[in-house]
């Protein structure tokens, strides 16, 4: 019985020895787990080769950004629609709309469109308007009145139009029930166009 026990012990140790050798050997050429493979050690982002953009003379304010869909034979194509107001706060202001597959491209298009449609506002000495004006664009109706010492009193997207045009001491009122920011902004621009120098 003792011999059988000894032989059994020897057999188990011999069987355990090759297993230990297998665990000490590397599993594959890539080394320990976690290194190599996808991702690797790339470091940080590569520095951009493009020179920095010069700062624009115009400030810009985004009215709204929407994801719009166009139905085609294979399904839907999505793009982004961006409405932007730009101005230099010294009497120049414009509203633009841009649409593209990427938001940055859409913003660039909107800025170019706003520069094309830019107007020059004739302001008084205290940065107000000379007389009361009103305008209508689609369903949006806006009235503006000079109000000396009141500051800028306006709401919705009419306020950023007047801010970027550099107009103060004015009261603007939206008479329509339209919640469309782009139409309200364009109505404000139309009203400013009606100013007589």
Tens-binned pLDDT, residue by residue, of the chain (197 aa): 555 555 454 454 444 445 545 555 555 555 555 555 555 555 566 666 666 666 667 888 999 999 999 999 989 999 999 999 999 888 899 999 999 999 999 999 999 999 999 999 888 888 888 889 999 998 999 999 988 888 889 888 899 999 999 888 899 999 888 888 899 999 999 999 888 76
Residue appearing with tokens 């230099």: 88
Contact 108, 98 (CB under 8 A): yes
In CATH, what number does 59-193 get?
A: 3.30.160.20
- Six token digits for residue 181: 């920011």
Structure tokens that stand for 193 in this block: 């166009």
Task: Name the token pair of 72.
Answer: 């085609």
């Amino acid at each position: 019985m003792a011999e059988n026990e000894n032989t059994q012990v020897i057999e188990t140790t011999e069987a355990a020895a090759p297993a230990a050798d297998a665990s000490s050997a590397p599993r594959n050429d890539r080394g320990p787990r976690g290194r190599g493979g996808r991702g690797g050690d790339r470091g940080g982002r590569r520095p951009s080769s493009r020179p920095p953009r010069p700062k624009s003379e115009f400030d810009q304010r985004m009215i709204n950004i929407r994801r719009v869909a166009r139905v085609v034979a294979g399904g839907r194509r999505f793009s982004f629609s961006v409405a932007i107001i730009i101005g230099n706060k010294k009497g120049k202001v414009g509203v633009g709309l841009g649409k593209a597959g990427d938001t940055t491209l859409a913003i660039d298009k909107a800025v170019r469109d706003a520069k094309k449609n830019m107007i020059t506002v004739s302001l008084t000495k205290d940065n107000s308007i000379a007389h009361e004006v009103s305008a209508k664009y689609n369903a949006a109706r806006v009235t503006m009145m000079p109000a000396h010492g009141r500051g800028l009193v306006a709401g919705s997207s009419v306020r950023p139009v007047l801010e970027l045009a550099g107009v103060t001491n004015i009261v603007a009122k939206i008479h329509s029930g339209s919640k469309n920011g782009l139409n309200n902004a364009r109505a404000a621009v139309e009203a400013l166009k009606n100013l007589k120098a």
